[in-house]
Amino acid sequence: MNTFWEVVEKIVNFISELITGSVKKGNDVRDTLEIKSEIKTCEGLINRSYMAIGRKYYEMHKDGDFDPEFDKQFKEITNAKRAIGELEDAIEDIKNS
């Protein structure tokens, strides 16, 4: 038969194990979140580099010397730039009214 103090010791040990497991699990979660944050940072760098490459390609080939595969994107850029110009003109018209 277990004495009162043996039971108390088992309870204390059980609680200690629970706390240790929770701390480890908390550390694992924190470590995972930190790693995921680093992954997002790397993905952001990759996306910015892709955009820089795309912008450079566009600037180098905007006068028509580009792969036909990019025709749709070049037209979209041209149309969007034209629309921006028209919208900026509309703002100026409103300011001057």
- Written as six digits, the tokens of 78 are 């041209």
Q: Are residues 7 and 49 in the same domain?
A: yes
Taking the CA atoms of residue 31, residue 34, residue 36 and residue 40 in that order, the dihedral angle to the nearest 10 degrees is -170
Q: Are 74 and 66 in contact (CB under 8 A)?
A: yes
Q: Are residues 1 and 32 in the same domain?
A: yes
Distance (Å, rounded) from C-alpha 18 to C-alpha 60? 63
Q: What is the pLDDT of residue 65?
A: 83
Distance (Å, rounded) from C-alpha 77 to C-alpha 27? 47
Q: Are residues 50 and 89 in the same domain?
A: no
Q: What is the pLDDT of residue 53?
A: 94
Count CB neighbours of 84 within 10 A. 10
What's the predicted TM-score (pTM) here? 0.56
Q: Are residues 56 and 70 in the same domain?
A: no
Residue 34 reports pLDDT greater than 70: yes
Residue of higher predicted confidence among 88 and 8? 88
Which range marks the domain in which residue 71 is found? 66-97
